[in-house]
A and B are shown apart, each in its own frame.
Chain A
Amino acid sequence: MTTLHISAASRWFGNVVAVNDVTMDIAPGVTGLLGPNGAGKSTLIHMMSGFLAPSSGSVTLDDRPIWRNEKVYREIGLVPEREGMYDYLTGAEFVLANAELHGLKDPEGAARAALETVEMTGAADRRVSTYSKGMRQRVKMASALVHEPSVLLLDEPFNGMDPRQRMHLMELLRRMGDEGRTVLFSSHILEEVEQLATHIEVIVAGRHAASGDYRKIRRLMTDRPHRYLIRSSDDRTLAAALIADPSTTGVEFDAGEGALRVQAVDFMRFTTQLPLLARESGIRLLTVSPSDESLESVFSYLVSA
């Protein structure tokens, strides 16, 4: 079990601040690093991978510094965003070279196993230059996994992948997370993060904007009303009861959905009052679902804040 600690880390290039006083811990499991393009995600990943020194603050693996410390690479697997990867080698040669560079005892065996994990054994003897984007991504993944690292850092791993490859990689990352590895991937695409990670770290304009389970983050945004879709045995009576309660600021009957659209301001009160009010009025609740707890709403809120 390995944890990445970033404490009060900043990085500036000339007078441009790319990462501004960020403190976060990346613990075992899958974490999504989310932010708009140019927010500083790559700079942060470069600091975590030891390719950039923090201008101030520190980035450590447990308690060992990552910058200028080649030994940490025994525990870190890296999937870079850039495409360059020794195109004149075959996929198998590329992964084998990575295994040898790690000084593994059985590089051939490790390379074979890693290629099997990413399901690339079939095309392993073709040159990397003939690979599609998704195949390259999988071979990069194999090279990052070949030494069974406890930390896996992936910079925009889903870029250019088709939906099937994307699903396959998501499954793989989920499995790595379940095995207790620390998996961090960056993305600017909400759906990807939502599908794969419940724990997110949000970077906006170089600053750490939010951290945690995105559903919980949503609930903490108390100045924004929560929206729910509710179906019950008697929608109109329930609507009247809800609007009489101060936790609710609006109720709309959506005839198309055959449901109520409710806007609540006080999350805690609303969630305790709703079942009580229903019971008092003898109404059965059939559906209660948050209609804006998606990462999208969390994200647009944080970016506009």
Chain B
Amino acid sequence: MIYNSTVARLTYRALLGRRRALMLLALPVLLLVIAVVIRALGGADDRAATEILGGFALASMVPLIGVIAGTGAIAPEIDDGSIVYLLSKPISRRTIITTKLLVAISVTIAFTTTPILLAGMILNDNSQQIGSAYTVAAGVASVAYSAVFLLLGTVSRNAVVFGLVYALVWEALFGSLVPGARTLSIQQWSLALAERVAADGADITSDVALPTALILLTAATVLGTWYAGRRLRVLKVAGDE
């Protein structure tokens, strides 16, 4: 079994509780506001669309939402010890991880793809398929980010901090300065897909070739999930002693 509906329900309620839901909503709302303002000031512009959807939405919004959903799906439960109630049941720990992964993926996709597609429409009426390209990229990136950040949630008590460092420092900053870092970046892998979807005239390029990107995306997702399951099997539910 890879899915348990009760585990999923508990995870959804934890992720979509009031405070987290507001955090998840903040960036998509910001994206739409920016899109409306740019369109109103400068009219439809493919370049602006690429810059905002690539430079803000895919580079910052998607990994940040991935961090919130991926780590939020498990880290708080490990932190406060309530994971005990899941672990002390006749359910395999792999099922717990795959269920939580599916929930994190669905939340990340929901809070990233729809706003990106909408923003693309607002910015340039999806001309040259720029909006669709970034929507597809955000979709696949959501899967990989969820797996990686869920793993981070089972490994470290400071999962959110490490997740933010990865999302902001590695993906956004380091990646733009050091060319090598870009090949090890979920953002670049998903861009390879965007490059394929968008029309040839659109200025979307990735440092990674599409086949390599697909292999790396799959590997990150599968290995991340596998290792998270392993971590959960040997998780020490430490007491206060």
Contacts and interface: CB of A to CB of B under 8 A. Distances in A.
B92 interface: yes
A97 B88 contact: no
Nearest to A140: B85
A51 B236 contact: yes
Interface string A25-52: 0000000000001101111011001111
B241 A43 contact: yes
Interface residue tally of chain B, by bracket?
A: 20 to 34
Contact of B239 (A53, A68, A81): A81
Nearest to A80: B84
A253 interface: no
Contacts of B235: 51
Interface residues of A, number: 38
A80 B80 CA distance: 12
A76 B88 contact: yes
A113 to B, nearest CB: 18
B89 A70 contact: yes
B85 A143 contact: yes
A40 B87 CA distance: 22
A105 interface: no
Contacts of B88: 49-50, 73, 76, 78
B9 interface: yes
26 contacts: A38-B241, A41-B241, A46-B236, A46-B239, A51-B84, A51-B237, A53-B234, A68-B233, A70-B89, A70-B92, A73-B90, A76-B88, A78-B84, A80-B84, A80-B237, A81-B239, A81-B240, A83-B80, A83-B81, A84-B82, A86-B85, A88-B13, A98-B89, A101-B89, A102-B89, A155-B239
7 pairs of A and B residues whose beta carbons are closest in the complex: A84-B80, A82-B81, A42-B239, A84-B82, A84-B81, A101-B89, A42-B241
